[in-house]
Structures are given as C-alpha cells and as structure tokens.
Amino acid sequence: MSGEKMRNLCYLMLICVLFSSCSKRNPSLTIVTEEYPPLSYTENDSVKGYGTEIVQLIQRRIEDNAKINVMKWNEAYQLALSKPNIVIYTIEKTKEREGLFYWIGPIGSNETSVFIPRKKNIRINQFDDLKKFSSIATTTDWFTEEYLKIKGLNNLTSMPNPEDNVKMVMKGKSDATILTNVTYADIVKNAGYQVDDLKPVFHVMSSDFYIGISKLTDFKIVKKWKDAYDQMNQEGIIDSLQYKWKIK
C-alpha cells in the first residue's frame, strides 16, 4: 500500500474513532409524552402544552434538538422504564415510582378525585366505599391506576385513553372514573361531553408532576436538564408559565 493510501486510511480510521467517541459521550435522547392537554398535546402537527413548553425551553438552553414523540401513555412509560436516554413528561412522582427515574421539577401539582355522572346520587365517605363499585374506569399505567391497585381495588377497567374512560362512565359501562383537576376539563370535552356532566365524589390524593429521565441514562445528561430547570425556576419562568397555562 502506498504512503498516500496509508495516510488516507489512517485518516478515515481516526474520523471513525472520533465519531464513535463523540456518540458515546453525547448519546441522542428520545423524548416521549402523551396526548394530555393542557400539559401536552398535538396541534397542526406541532407538540404544544405547558409541559412541552418547559421541555423545549430546557432543550434550547442545553442545545438539545431531540424530537418530541407523542404516543399512548403505557407505551411511553414502558419505554422509559426499560431503555436509557428516555425523557418522559409529564409524570407523577409517587413513592412507588421514586427510584425508577431521575426527576426534574416539580413543574406542577395535581388533585386527584373519583368522578361519577352528575345525575347519579352516590355518596363516598371513605376509600373502602370505592370497592362497592362494579367498575372504575382507569387509564393504563397512569399513577392513578397504580395507586388504586396498591390500595387493593380489583374492580378496575383499564383503558389506554382517558377519554374512553369518560365515555365508559357516561354510557353506564363503568360506575366511575378517576381524573385530576389539571386535565379533567380537556379530557371530558375531548370525549364529547360537557364539564358539568360529571361530578367529583371523593378526593383520592394530592401529588406533584415532573419531567422524568430513565434511570439508565448517563447522569451528566441528567445534570444538564436539572441545572437548566433550576435556573429557569430561579428566574421565575416556571411560575410565569403556570399562570400562562392556568396550571395554578
């Protein structure tokens, strides 16, 4: 092999080594979310929402250009549990989930209640009264479903889309469903009903929601997201976005 060919070969090998090294130092992220207005939703082929805006502002600060992928929550959640370099939002931080992810936030708070059709006259005085229902419609892998399972309820009907839960209740196929105050109105409207068609009958829990990063992710990446969020929070950006999106 001639000296020139040898130099070209060595140059190509060096480029490959450098590219491989950079890829390992800066692995690409996959960002996942669900249709969950006003926190995340698609409109005119763009992903919008309160949580989305926070994620995009963090991306801008750390110069990350990963695309946001919208999918069913159970698919996004299982992906974040099993793969590295997954960013998932918005995700509720519970005792059971605490060790499963790195947490960026909190970016907001939820009040979770059980809802029934307004025309029904049912009183729920304590949690165990929920066992009297034949069926409570829940969303697959949502923190609300996880919580009810942990508390021993075996009368849950799991559906991948929250709008289907509302439809199940309004059509009499389930007795009740469980929703949060932040997203209740949008879910009911998207299901084709009026906000006043259901009513809360039992407050289940209060909780905070975050941006989550899968545990298998390099902590250097996590720290970039944490630092960017903390800086935004100190600058008052999180508060202003909460008022803009009427999260508070």
pLDDT along the chain (248 residues), means of 10: 49 40 64 97 96 98 97 97 97 96 98 97 95 97 97 97 97 98 97 98 97 97 98 98 94
pLDDT of residue 26: 60
Instruction: Please tell me the predicted confidence (pLDDT) of residue 3.
Output: 52
pLDDT single digits (tens) 177-227:
999 999 999 999 999 999 999 999 999 999 999 999 999 999 999 999 999
E runs forming strands in the chain:
30-33, 41-43, 46-48, 68-70, 86-92, 101-117, 136-139, 156-159, 176-180, 198-214
Backbone torsions φ then ψ of 127, nearest 5 degrees = -60, -40
Question: Cβ distance 42 to 48 under 8 Å?
Answer: yes
Q: How far is Cα 107 from Cα 54, in angstroms, rounded to an integer?
A: 8
Q: How many other C-beta atoms lie within 10 A of the C-beta of residue 243?
A: 9
3-state helix, strand, coil in the chain (%, to 5): 45, 30, 30
How buried is 194 (Cβ within 10 angstroms: 0-12 exposed, 13-18 middle, 19+ buried)?
exposed
Computed over every residue of the chain, the mean pLDDT equals 91
What is residue 2's predicted lDDT score, i.e. its pLDDT? Answer: 53
Enter the tokens of residue 9: 């070969």
pLDDT at 126: 97
What pLDDT score was predicted for residue 164? 97
Check residue 27 and give its pLDDT. Answer: 73
Q: Please, where are the H alpha helices in 39-134? A: 50-62, 73-82
